[in-house]
Structure 1
Amino acid sequence: MLIMVTDLINWKTQAEQYLSEGNYTSAAYLYEQAIIAEPYVTPYYWYLGLILLLQGQETEAQMTWMLPMAEVDEEEIGKLTNELLQVLEAEAIQREKLEEFSLAWVIRQHIREINPTDINNLIKIITLSIKINNFQGDNLIELCLIEYLNTSRNYNSLYDDLKNLIQEVVKEAPLHFATFNLLEASLPYFSSSSVSDCLDIFLPAAMRIGHTLKCPELATKILELILRLDSDNIESLRALAIFYQDSQKYDIGIKISKKCYSISHELPDKIFAIHLLLRGLMSAGGYWEEVCNACQELELLFKQLICLQPIEISEIQTLRLLTPFFAIPHIKDNPVQFKSTNNQVAKIFQASIQKFAGEYLNCYSQLNKNKSFGYSHRKLKVGYLSYALRQHSVGWLARWLIQHHDKEQFETYIYFVDYKQINDWLQEWYVSQVTHPHKLGMSAWDIAEKICNDEIDILIDLDSLTLDVTSEVIALKPAPLQATWLGWDASGIPTVDYFIADPYVLPYTAQDYYTEKIWRLPNTYIAVDGFEVGIPTLRRDELNIPSDAVVYLSAQRGYKRNPETTRWQMKIINEVANSYFLIKGSGEEEAIKNFFYKIADEEGVDCSRLKFLQQDPLESTHRANLSIADVVLDTYPYNGATTTLETLWMGIPLVTRVGEQFAARNSYTMMINAGITEGIAWTDEEYIEWGIRLGKDANLRQQVAWKLRQSRHTAPLWNAKQFTREMEKAYQQMWQIYVEGR
C-alpha cells in the first residue's frame, strides 16, 4: 500500500524508530515506499542508502545515493552532496554517542569517499580505528591526514579533536615514523591554541619513548618540537640532555646540561643540572678535569642545601636530590665524607616525601603496626623492587636468588618499576619465576599502594638511589621491613632498616657512618651459578696482535675511567715487553682515545699498543670475547662488579685495587669468594706490581686460571643455592627481630 502525504509525519517517526532499533528491513521498506510516493524528495534516497550501508550493502547504498544526481547540473550536484554529507555526519555522531564505534567508522569511511579532504572526518576515522582496535600507524599516511594538516589553516576548529587524537596515537603507535610526523604537523595548532597542552602531551610521550621503550633518538626529536614553541622550557631541556647522552651524542647533551644550569635559579634545580652535566661528561669519558670541577661544585651545592634547612622544596625537586650522588664515588674513595653528606640529604629527601604523602603515609603506618606477629604458621612475604630486572647487571645477577627461593617458606613478589614494553627475554623470565609479578609504571604512589595491599613483610630495594621513583617508594615505607641489596651502595634513606653486605665488601668500621644496620652474610653478598657464554668473535691476528703477546684488557663504561688508574695501567704496559692493552666500553670514541693516548704518551707507551674495541651486541658474545685477554685490569675507585664476575667465571686473572667504599671493594670480595688472592692490591704500587708480575709470569697466570676453574665446584661465589639459603636465613632473622620488637 502506498504511503500518502497525509501520513508523512507518522511514517517518518516510525522509520526513525526502526533505524534506531536496528530494524533495518522495516526502515528500508518505509523509505522505499516514500520514494515511490514522492520520487523527487532527495532525503529519502540519502536515508535509504544509509540503511543499506548499515546492512553491509555498500554497492547498493552508493547506487541509491547516485539516483537523484543522475540528471542534474554540477551546481545542483554540489548541493545534493552536501545534503547527503549532513545526513551521514549526523548518523555517525549518533552512533558515536551510542558507542557503536564500528558502525560510526563505516559511515565515516563513506563520508571520506565523498569528501576525502574533510580533516575533521579523517581525525574521527583514526580515533574510531583506535577504539575498535583497527589502527596502524600507516593509517596516518594512507588517509593523507598529515598532508592535509600541513596545508590547513583551520587551527581553532580542529584543535580539540586533533589534541585528543594525538594523545591516543602516541599510546597506540609511539614508535611509528608517522606518529612523529603527526606531532610535527600538529605543532601550529598548539602554537595558536595552547603551548601548555603541547607540553602535557609531548613531554610524557618523549619520556615513555626514551625511557620505557628505549628509543632516545626519537625522544630527542619530539622534545625539539616542544622547544620550537618554548626554547627555554626547562623540563624539556632536562629530558633532552638525558636523551642526547643516551643516544651517545654526548657533546650536544653536555651543551644542553650547561644551559640547564645557566637558567636554573633554585638550589635543588642547580644540583640536578650539575648531575645532568656529570652524567654527560662521565658517560662520554675522557673529560676528567671538567668532571672534577663539576663534582666539586656538586658537593658545594649539597653543603649549601644542608645548611639552609629548612627550605621549601617541591615534590619534583625532592625526587631529584639523591640520584646526583651516584657520580661522587666514581671520582674519589672517601666513604666517611660521602656518607655524611649522603645521609643528611637522604633525611631531607625522606621528610619532604612524607610531607607530600599525607594520608597515604598514615595508611601504610597503620597497616605495618598490625603486622607484629610471627611467621611460623605462614610463608614470609618478600617483595623485590627494581627497574633493572631485565638485561641489565642487576637482572643478570639477581636471577639465581629468585630461581632458588624456597617456595614452601617464602612467597615472592616482584614490583617492576617502569616495566619495559620491549622484547627482553630476561625480563619475561623474571615474570615467569614468581607467583606475583606486578608490571608497574613510574608512579611511586601506585607502586607503594600495591606493596601495601599485598601486605609484604620484607621489601628488598635493588635500585638504591640510582632511580628517583624507587627512592620515593622506599621513603613511603610501604613494608614494615626494608633492605637494600645488590643494585648499589646503601641509599641513606632512614626508612631502610638493613643494607645487605658480607665480611669483605665493607670495612668493619663502616657501621660508624651507615644509617642502615649492615647485615653481613657469612661469605658473599652475591653468588651466581654461572653465565651464558657464546662464540668468540675477536681474533688476535685481526687486531694485529702477535700470538705470543701478553694481552691486557679493561672493559668498563666511560664513567669509570680515572686518569690515576689509567696511569698505573700504562706503567704496567710499559714494563711488560710485547704487551698490548685492549680498551672496551661505551663512551665518546674520540674523547676516550685522546684520554688514553695522552697518558700513554706521558708514560712512554707507544699508542699502537692500545686497541679500542667496539661493544658486543650480545652479553654472551662479550663474555666469550673476554678469553682473548691474559690479564684483566680493574678500575678504581669504582671497581667492576658484573664484569668482575664474568672475568672470574671465564678463568682470567684480574688485578684490582681495594679501597674503603663499597664500590672500591666489589672485586675484592668476589676474588676472595672465588678462592684467589693473586691480583688483590692494597696500594697503588701493589696494583702496578701485580699487573707486571701476572704479565711476565705465564706459569702464575696458568695457576690462577686453574684455581678459578676448580673454584666452580667449591667456591661460595659459584654456589647460588647456598647463597639463597643464607639470604633466606637472614630474612627470617630480620623478621624475628622485628616481631620481637628489638
Structure 2
Amino acid sequence: MKSSAGDHEGAATAFKSFTEIRPDFYQAHFNLGRALVQLGRDREAIESFQRALTLHPHHVKALTQLANAHKRLGNLDEAVRLSEKAFELDPADTSLVITLARILSQSGRYREAVEVYQKALEIKPDSAPMHYNLGNLVRRISGDAAANPHYVRAVKLDPNHVNALINLGITHRRDSPETALEYFRKAVALEPDSLTALYGALSLEQRYCDFDAREISHAATLKALEGDAYRSLIWQTAANWIYESLFAPLPWPAIHILQRHISKLIDEEIRVQGSLPEQVPSAVASNRRLRIGYLSPNFGSHPVGLVTLSLIPAHDRGRFEVHAFSTRPGGSDGSEAAIRHRDAFDTFHEIGNRHARDAAAYIRSQGIDILIDLDGYMDNTSPPILAFRPAPIQVFWLGHGGGLGLPFVDYLIADAIVLPPGEERHYREAIVRLPDIYHCTDRPPIAGDCPPRAHWGLPDDATVYCVFNNPDKIDRQAFDCWMRILKGVEDSVLWFSPFRQNSNTLLSNLRRYAERQGVDPARLVLSERVPDKSIHLARIRHADLMLDTFTLNASSTALDSLWAGLPLLAMQGDRFSNRISNSMLHAIGMGDMVCADLDEYERRAIELGSDPSARSDLRNRLHDNRDTTPLFNVERFTRHLERAYETMWSRHRDGQPPAPFDVPLMR
C-alpha cells in the first residue's frame, strides 16, 4: 500500500521487515526490489530480485526487473542474458519481447533485436506494439522507407497508436511533408498534450507559414508544458523543442525544465554505455600551441560552414593547432565549401559514423584542449559526445542563438548586444563576451554580371523590399507589418528568397494572408534558387531594402545583404535570437537601422520605400563602412576569438573553474 501511494521509502522498510520475518517468501523479496528501484538503489534491488529468483527461478517479472536494473547500471551482457531467459519462459508476452529487443539494441545488436520481434510476431502477428518497435529498429538499420510498412501495420491494427502515427510523420517529413503534417495532426487529435506530435505539427505549420494553425499548436504546446508532459520526451525531441523555441518562443522556465530533462536522459545513457576513464591532468608547457577542435556536422554548404570559411585559415598557426571533427554521417556534402574546409584545418576528422562514446574517446585521443561545438540543438549530434567530456574545456558558439544549459558545456560565446549584462541568470554556461560582435563572417565573391530585375520577376520601377530569411522565421506579426508597409508605398513589392520543397503550398498561404490584409497577392514575388552564391549576392542588389524578421533574426542572410551593399532594417529584440541583426548592424556602424519598436520599424520602412535619395545615402554609408568597421574584419574578429580561447585555457591551467569574462578590445 505504501508503494502504491508513492511512499517508496516506507514500502522498502516494510518489505525489508517482512523478508526478515518470512525469508522464504519470494514475493516479499520481489516487492522490496521494486521499491528499491523506485528509490534509485539498483544495486540493492538486484540482491532482492536475485533472492526472489533463488526461491522462484521461473518468476518472469523478477527476471525482467533484474535485467532492467543491470541495464541501468551498464551491465548489458547480463541484462541480455536475463531478458533472453524471461523471453524463453513466455515468448508471447509483448512486454518481455520489447524489453529484450531494447536491451539488445542498446548493446548495438540491432539485427538480433529484429530477429526477436520477427520470432514473436510469428506467435502474435496482430501485436501493434511489436510492429511499431520493429519499425523503429528497421528504421535505424535501413532507413525511413523500410520502416514505414511496419508503422502502417501498427496503425492498421491500432488506429489510436499515437507513437506509430508520429513516426509516420517523422519518416514522411523530408519527402512528403504535407502527408507528414496529416499524421502529426492525427496524433495531436488523439493526444492533445503529446509534445512530440505537437512539435511535428508546429514545425511544419511554421515551414508553410500557416499562421492560424501555428498559433493553435503553439498555444497547445504552452499548455502541455505547464504540466509534466515533457517527462515522456526522448532527449532529442526535448532538444528539438529548445531549438524550435527560437521560432516559437517558450518561457524561460519551460526551457530550463527541458534542459534539465535532456541532461538527465543523457546522463542515464552514459551510465548505460559507461563513462570514459577520468582524465588525469598532465603538465602542459605554457609555450606549446593550443589544440582547438571545432565540432559540427556542417562543414560544407550550410550557413555555419559558409560563415566560418575565412575564420579557419585566419587562426594563428604559431599559437593554435586547429582540428575539425565532422559529425555528418557519411562524410562531406561534396560542396566547394566542404573542400575548402578540409584544406583549411590542420587535421580534418570524420567521426559521423561513430557512436557518441567512441567519438568522444577519439576526440580525447587527439589531445584537444578546447572543443567548440558549432551545432548545439540544430542536429543534436554534439550533446551526447560532449557529455563524455572529451576535452577539458567545452564551448558552445555560433550554431544558434542562446545556450545549451547542459552541465558539460563550460562557456557560451556572445557579445554585449545579444546577451547584455544582467541576463546571465538564464544561462548555465559561463558567458564570454567578444568586444565587437560574437558572429564571424566571410567575404565571398560577388558576380560582376547579373541578369536584370525582370529576369527575377521584379518590376523595373517598383520599390523592392526583400525578405531572404528562412520562411520558418516569418510569423504573423512580421507578415502583417510587411503588408501594411506595402499598402503604404504604392507599387512596392515584397521579394522572397527561394524556398525549400513545396514552395507552392508556402506561397499559396502567404498570398492568402496577403489578400486577407487587402494586398494584391501578385505583389509577393518568389524567385528560383540560384546555386552560384556569387550570382545570388549580385541579385540581392536589385532590392531596395531588406526587412528583417522579429522572433528570430537573419544571421547569415543579414551578412549576405550587408556584404552585397543592401541596407537592412531591424527591430530591437528581447532575447539572444532576436538581437543578432542588431549586433551586426552596430558592428558595421549602422546601429540607427535598429528600430525601437514595431511602429518605428513600419514608419521607417515606408519612409525609406518612398525616398530614393535616403536609400541612396544608406547604400553609400554601407559601402564606406564595409571595409572600415569591425563586421567584415575577419583578422580582427579572429584575434578576439583567440584571446577568448587563451583566457579560458589560462584559467584551466591555473586550476580555476570556468567563469564569465569580457574579451578586451584589441586595436
Q: 2:267 aligns with which of 329, 354, 364?
A: 354
C-alpha distance 356-578 of structure 1, shift in aligned 2 (>3 A): closer
Q: In the TM superposition, what is the alpha-carbon distance from 1:549 to its structure 2 partner? A: 1.8
Structure 1 Cα separation of the partners of residues 459 and 340 of structure 2:
42
Q: Classify the secondary structure of the residue corresponding to 2:506.
A: helix
- The aligned residue for residue 198 of structure 2 is 274
How many Å separate the matches in 2 of 1:603 and 1:467?
37
1:557 to 457, 462, 470: 470
Distance in 2, matches of 1:536 and 1:226, equals 53
Shift of 1:359: 8.1
Say which of 527, 530, 546 aligns to 1:632.
Answer: 546
Alpha-carbon deviation of 1:502?
1.3
User: Match for residue 207 of structure 2?
Assistant: 283
Partner of 2:584: 670
Q: 1:675 to 1:300 in 2, by over 3 A?
A: same
In the other structure, the counterpart of 1:511 is 424
Aligned partner letter, 1:241:
G
The answer to whether the 8 A contact 2:300-2:334 is kept is no
Gaps of 5+ in 2: 1-117, 657-667
* 5+ residue gaps, structure 1: 1-187, 208-218
Distance 1:360 1:613, change over 3 A: same
The TM-score, its normalising length taken from structure 1, stands at: 0.65
Q: Deviations over 1:250-304 (max 9, x none)?
A: 3201012234456779x8xx3222222222211222x122222222333333342
Q: CA deviation at 1:741?
A: 2.9
Q: Give, in whole Å, the separation in 2 of the partners of 1:190 and 1:629.
A: 63
Of residues 406-415 and 316-325 in structure 1, the stretch that sits farther from structure 2 once superposed is: 316-325
Offset at 1:436?
Answer: 2.6
Q: 1:543 to 1:586 in 2, by over 3 A?
A: closer
Which one of the candidate residues 534, 537, 562 is aligned to 1:620? 534
Show the 5 A alignment for 1:260-271. Answer: 260-261=187-188, 270-271=194-195
Relative to structure 1, the CA distance from residue 693 to residue 508 in structure 2 (aligned partners, 3 Å threshold; closer, same or farther) is farther
Matched, 1:579 2:492: yes
Structure 1 375/497 Cα, relative in aligned 2: closer, same or farther at 3 Å?
Answer: farther
Letter of the structure 2 residue corresponding to residue 291 of structure 1: R
Match runs of 1:86-485 below 5 Å: 199=135, 202-207=138-143, 219=144, 221-227=145-151, 229-231=153-155, 238=166, 240-247=168-175, 249-261=176-188, 270-285=194-209, 287-305=210-228, 317-332=234-249, 337-338=251-252, 340-358=253-271, 362-364=275-277, 366-367=278-279, 369-371=280-282, 373-421=283-331, 422-441=333-352, 443-485=355-397
Task: Give me the CA root mean square deviation.
Answer: 3.1
2:589·2:625 contact (CA, 8 Å) conserved in 1?
Answer: yes
Residue identity opposite 1:486 in structure 2: L
Alpha-carbon distance between aligned partners in 2 of 1:603 and 1:320, rounded to the nearest angstrom:
36
Moved more, 503-512 or 238-247: 238-247
2:472 maps to a residue whose letter is Y
1:275 is paired with a residue whose SS is: helix
From the superposition, tell whether residues 434 and 234 of structure 1 become closer, same or farther in structure 2 (CA, over 3 Å): farther
CA distance in 2, matches of 1:478, 1:626: 43
TM-score by length of 2: 0.72
Instruction: Report deviation, 1:375.
Output: 4.9
**Aligned in 2, Cα 1:614/1:518: closer, same or farther, shift over 3 Å?**
same
How many angstroms does 1:613 deviate by?
Answer: 2.4
Mapped contact 1:250–1:281 kept (Cα < 8 A): no
Larger Rg: 1
Larger mean CA deviation between 683-692 and 320-329 belongs to: 320-329
Same amino acid, percent of matched pairs: 24
- Which residue of structure 2 aligns with residue 708 of structure 1? 622
- Identify if the C-alpha distance between structure 1 residues 607 and 290 changes in structure 2 by more than 3 Å, giving closer, same or farther: closer
* 8 Å contact kept, 1:634–1:640: yes
Q: Is the contact between residue 354 and residue 361 of structure 1 (CA under 8 Å) also seen in structure 2?
A: no
Does structure 2 retain, via aligned residues, the 8 Å contact 1:565–1:636? yes
Residues 305 and 390 of structure 1, relative CA distance in 2, 3 Å threshold:
farther
CA contact (8 A) 1:679 1:691 kept: no
Query: Going by fraction, where is helix more abundant, 1 or 2?
Result: 1
Residue among 590, 603, 607 paired with 1:693? 607
Deviations 1:333-354 (A, max 9, x none): x7xx33x322232123223322
Report deviation, 1:228.
5.5
- 1:578, distance to aligned residue in structure 2 (A): 2.7
1:486 paired with 2:393, answer no
Match of 1:648 in 2: 562
Question: Any conservation in 2 of the 1:528–1:717 contact (CA below 8 Å)?
Answer: yes
* 2:173 aligned partner, one-letter code: Q
Indicate how the Cα distance of structure 1 residues 341 and 674 shifts in structure 2: closer, same or farther if over 3 A, else same.
Answer: same
Shift of 1:437: 1.7
Deviations 1:43-63 (A, max 9, x none): xxxxxxxxxxxxxxxxxxxxx
* Secondary structure of the structure 1 residue equivalent to 2:651: helix
In 2, distance between residues paired with 1:261 and 1:684? 34
The answer to whether the 8 Å contact 2:456/2:527 transfers is no
AA at the equivalent of 1:245:
R
Distance of 1:657 and 1:348 partners within structure 2 = 33
Conservation of the 8 A alpha-carbon contact between 1:504 and 1:665? yes
Q: 1:531 aligns with which of 408, 430, 444?
A: 444
Map of 1:660 onto structure 2: 574
Change (3 A) 1:319 1:595: closer
Aligned length: 525
Q: What one-letter code is carried by the residue in structure 2 that aligns with 1:400?
A: S
**Is the 8 Å Cα contact of residues 556 and 585 (structure 1) preserved in structure 2?**
no
Q: CA deviation at 1:545?
A: 4.4
Q: Which amino acid aligns with 2:265?
A: S
**Is 1:739 the counterpart of 2:662 in the alignment?**
no
- 1:452 and 1:263 map into 2 onto residues whose CA distance is 46
AA partner of residue 525 (structure 1): Y
| CA drift at 1:234 | 7.3
Tell me by how many angstroms 1:599 deviates. 4.1
> Letter of the aligned partner of 2:223 in structure 1?
L
Counterparts of 2:625 and 2:601 in 1: how far apart (Å)? 23
Counterpart Cα distance in 1 of 2:329 and 2:446: 27
Q: Letter of the 1:289 partner, please give it.
A: D
Residue 453 of structure 1: CA displacement?
2.2
Residues 489, 606 of structure 2: 8 Å contact kept: yes
Which deviates the most, 480-489 or 222-231?
222-231
Partner letter of residue 236 of structure 2?
L
Contact 2:290 2:320 in 1 (8 A): yes
C-alpha distance in 1, partners of 2:204/2:603? 34
Equivalent residue for 1:116? none
Relative to structure 1, the CA distance from residue 406 to residue 544 in structure 2 (aligned partners, 3 Å threshold; closer, same or farther) is closer
- 3-state SS of paired residue (2:591): coil
- Could you tell me how far apart the structure 2 residues matched to 1:359 and 1:481 are? 24
Aligned match of 2:411: 498
Give the distance between the partners of 1:541 and 1:453, measured in 2 at CA: 57
The 3-state SS of whatever aligns with 1:321 is helix
Q: Secondary structure at the match of 1:427?
A: helix
Rounded to whole Å, the distance in 2 between the matches of 1:236 and 1:408 is 55
